[in-house]
């Protein structure tokens, strides 16, 4: 059958679909998973002809009359281009490029830019008809359309430096948001059809969140999760898990990457110094239900660290439903940050909920053991027969001598790609100090502010002799925020948390003791820092100062407290419902 036959003229649509698939199979080229440099250059050089050969015949065909031809052809092209992008990321000679490789990669980038423009144009014309349900032909179009979007996101994640196009990503975000909205609002003939549509787009939503998080563009997911009645909420998978088979890793990734994006959004606005606590509230609604899943219970992971050899005991007992210790640490990391960014009262920090206590202690212990193990391995490696200091230096320089990792743009990049000192001083010590906080007058609170004092002390200041964090300031100046923008996000988050704790302390003293004058002097006395009241009050609007220098409660405080209560109810209900459907 002629593959260019318009769908409305075709009497046998299933035969048309088979003909299109057979046509594309004839143009397929096998790409090995581990090619030589010469083979990679050959495949990359042949990509333009492959793309032109299959796309040029359909370029003038109306999309609405040739939907399957368009989506299947574009999916075919993106899969082949994506395979080369993945090879570019993985091949061993990537870290030692020569002129030939540089030339081919430059050409590959130009090809991918053209492909992105083509995709953007297509997505601008794609309509809700691609999501129709009820016939084998419609199902094939819908599934291929979703597959095309997922493959495109995968290509972007695997090669952000050569495959990322801002306009194409914006088109993807708009298309996926519109798809989710369409499925949410459409009146289906029966409930099963709605379930099938939701089931089809759930992996796409997950891939979109993962891509947005990984490339450092969490704002792309904002239209999905933010609003009076968000398109996607933490309850989205509930009906699927109740009525259809839903794979557990997919469900975990849904909650995980949505939560990670929302935590990042709480602190990532470069034009604002305040914490967007409403995003941290939303993140909590995803991360707490995630942590209630039985396979993520700390009882499955804490035994590993107590053994003195992380992962040694339980690894042989684990099945596919369990995740690695590193992944479990990352979830704890984001949960703890979301909890801190949501703080409205000092008591919530010094008398935290049991889950926070458990997660912060687990992370501090597990992560601490892991970085110590990394150091031990480095010190005993074949590189350091004469002196372990050489290996310690090697460990420090590792992050700057290798190609940037795929997670370089994420807040958790410091966990994976940080130097030993960054992991120790910026992460481990911070979490250890959190785990030792007590109420009401624990020295750990003062220690937390002093050690993580981001404000430089003026030369000659009386505070200089009491400062114990000169190494901390030196470390901050050496964090590679160009290669690893995600490290900058983490440092900024910690700095905002430190300011937040100080304003909450003043609020606590104002509420309980009536202290309402000289806030700057009080800060200096309590924490030995040079933060001013104006600087710490930027993160959250709890207190204000009148013309006479007297402190008073902000009018916005009641709204913030009401928002916190509403968020807590949402999280409790979602957690309870998820526990029910997972039984």
pLDDT at 463: 40
- Parse the chain into domains and list their residue ranges: 1-175, 291-575
Residue whose structure tokens are 């110590």: 372
Instruction: Categorize the per-residue pLDDT at 22 as very low, low, confident or very high, splitting at 50, 70 and 90.
Output: very high
Q: State residue 174's pLDDT score.
A: 94
Segment among 93-102, 204-213, 326-335 with least mean pLDDT: 93-102
Q: What pLDDT, on the 0 to 100 scale, is given for residue 149?
A: 97
Residue 308 gets the label, from left (phi > 0), alpha (psi -120 to 50) or beta, of: left
Q: Which residue has the tokens 């502010």?
A: 449
Q: Mean per-residue pLDDT for 519-542?
A: 86
Span 321-332, average pLDDT: 91
Alpha-carbon distance of 568 to 576, in angstroms, equals 12
Q: Quick one: pLDDT at residue 337?
A: 98
Long-range contacts of 541-545 (CB under 8 A, 24+ apart): 541/274, 542/344, 542/503, 542/504, 542/506, 542/507, 543/503, 543/506, 543/507, 543/510, 543/519, 545/519
Angle at 246 between CA 243 and CA 247, to 5 degrees: 160
Question: What is the maximal distance between C-alpha atoms in the chain?
Answer: 88
What angle separates helix 67-90 from helix 37-55, to the nearest 10 degrees?
Answer: 170
Query: Mean pLDDT score of the chain, rounded to an integer?
Result: 82
Tell me which of 196 and 221 has the higher pLDDT.
221
Q: CA triplet 202, 221, 352: central angle to 5 degrees? A: 95
Percent of the chain with pLDDT over 90: 44
pLDDT top residue among 246 and 8: 8
Residues 468-517: tens digit of each pLDDT: 556 677 788 888 888 899 999 999 999 999 999 999 999 998 888 888 78
Angstrom distance (rounded) from CA 544 to CA 555: 9
- At residue 226, the pLDDT reads 92
Per-residue pLDDT of 389-427, as tens digits, reads 433 344 343 333 344 456 889 999 999 999 999 999 999
CA–CA separation, 35 and 403 (whole Å): 20
Alpha-carbon span 29 to 47, nearest angstrom: 10
Distance CA 370, CA 113 (A): 40
Of residues 335 and 196, more confidently modeled: 335
How many DSSP H helices and E strands does the chain contain? Answer: 26, 2
Say what the pTM is: 0.87
149-167: pLDDT as tens digits: 999 999 999 988 899 999 9
Q: What is the DSSP string of 493-515?
A: HHHHHHHHHHHHHHHHHHHHH--
Q: Are the C-beta atoms of 288 and 355 separated by less than 8 Å? A: yes
For residue 459, name the pLDDT band (cuts at 50, 70, 90).
very low
DSSP string spanning 68-101?
HHHHHHHHHHHHHHHHHHHHHHH-GGGGS--HHH
Judged by DSSP in three states, 545 sits in strand
pLDDT digits (tens, 9 = 90+) for 269-308: 766 678 898 999 999 999 999 999 989 999 888 655 444 4
**pLDDT band, residue 563 (cuts 50/70/90):** low
* pLDDT (0 to 100) of residue 320: 57
The pLDDT value given to residue 569:
64
- Burial of 526 per CB tally in 10 Å (0-12, 13-18, 19+): middle
pLDDT band of residue 437 (cuts 50, 70, 90) is: confident
Q: Can you tell me the distance from the alpha carbon of 503 to that of 511, in angstroms, rounded to the nearest whole number?
A: 12
């Amino acid at each position: 059958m002629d593959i260019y036959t318009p769908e409305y003229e075709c009497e046998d649509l299933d035969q048309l679909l088979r003909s299109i698939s057979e046509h594309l199979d004839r143009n397929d080229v096998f790409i090995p998973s581990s090619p030589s440099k010469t083979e990679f250059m050959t495949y990359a050089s042949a990509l333009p002809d492959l793309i032109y050969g299959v796309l040029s015949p359909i370029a003038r065909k109306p999309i609405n009359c040739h939907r399957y031809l368009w989506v299947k052809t574009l999916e075919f092209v993106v899969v082949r281009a994506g395979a080369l992008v993945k090879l570019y990321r993985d091949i061993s000679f990537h870290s030692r490029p020569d002129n030939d490789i540089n030339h081919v990669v430059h050409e590959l980038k130009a090809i991918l830019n053209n492909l992105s423009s083509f995709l953007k144009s297509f997505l601008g014309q794609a309509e809700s008809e691609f999501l129709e349900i009820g016939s084998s032909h419609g199902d094939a179009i819908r599934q291929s359309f979703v597959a095309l979007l997922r493959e495109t996101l995968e290509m972007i994640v695997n090669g952000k430096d050569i495959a990322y196009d801002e306009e194409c990503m914006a088109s993807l975000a708009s298309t996926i948001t519109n798809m989710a909205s369409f499925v949410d609002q459409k009146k289906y003939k029966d409930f099963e059809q709605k379930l099938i549509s939701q089931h089809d787009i759930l992996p796409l939503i997950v891939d979109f969140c993962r891509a947005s998080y990984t490339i450092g563009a969490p704002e792309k997911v904002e239209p999905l999760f933010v609003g009076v009645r968000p398109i996607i909420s933490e309850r989205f998978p509930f009906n699927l898990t109740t009525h259809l088979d839903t794979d557990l890793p997919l469900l975990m990734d849904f909650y995980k990457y949505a939560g990670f994006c929302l935590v990042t959004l709480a602190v990532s606005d470069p034009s604002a110094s305040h914490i967007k606590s409403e995003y941290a509230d939303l993140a909590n609604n995803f991360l707490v239900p995630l942590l209630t899943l039985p396979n993520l219970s700390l009882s499955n992971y804490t035994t590993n660290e107590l053994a003195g050899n992380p992962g040694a005991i339980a690894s042989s007992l684990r099945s596919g439903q369990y995740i690695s210790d590193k992944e479990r640490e990352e979830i704890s990391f984001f949960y703890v940050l979301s909890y801190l960014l949501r703080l409205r009262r000092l008591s919530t920090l010094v008398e935290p909920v049991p889950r926070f206590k458990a997660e912060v202690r687990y992370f501090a212990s597990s992560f601490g053991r892991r970085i110590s193990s990394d150091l031990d391995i480095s010190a005993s490696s074949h590189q350091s027969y004469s002196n372990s200091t050489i290996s310690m230096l090697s460990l420090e320089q590792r992050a700057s001598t290798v190609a940037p990792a795929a997670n370089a743009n994420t807040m958790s990049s410091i966990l994976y790609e940080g130097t030993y000192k960054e992991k120790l001083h910026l992460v481990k010590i911070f979490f250890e100090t959190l785990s030792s906080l007590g109420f009401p007058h624990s020295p750990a609170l003062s220690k937390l502010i002093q050690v993580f004092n981001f404000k430089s002390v003026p030369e000659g200041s009386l505070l200089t002799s009491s400062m114990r964090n000169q190494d901390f300031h030196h470390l901050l100046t050496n964090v590679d925020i160009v290669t690893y923008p995600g490290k900058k996000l983490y440092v900024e988050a910690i700095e905002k948390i430190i300011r937040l704790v100080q304003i909450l302390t003043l609020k606590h003293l104002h509420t309980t003791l009536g202290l309402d004058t000289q806030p700057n002097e009080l800060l200096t006395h309590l924490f030995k820092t040079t933060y001013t009241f104006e600087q710490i009050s930027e993160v959250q609007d709890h207190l204000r100062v009148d013309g006479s220098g007297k402190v008073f409660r902000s009018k916005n405080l009641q709204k913030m407290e009401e928002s916190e209560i509403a968020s807590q109810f949402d999280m409790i209900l979602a957690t309870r419902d998820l526990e029910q459907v997972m039984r």
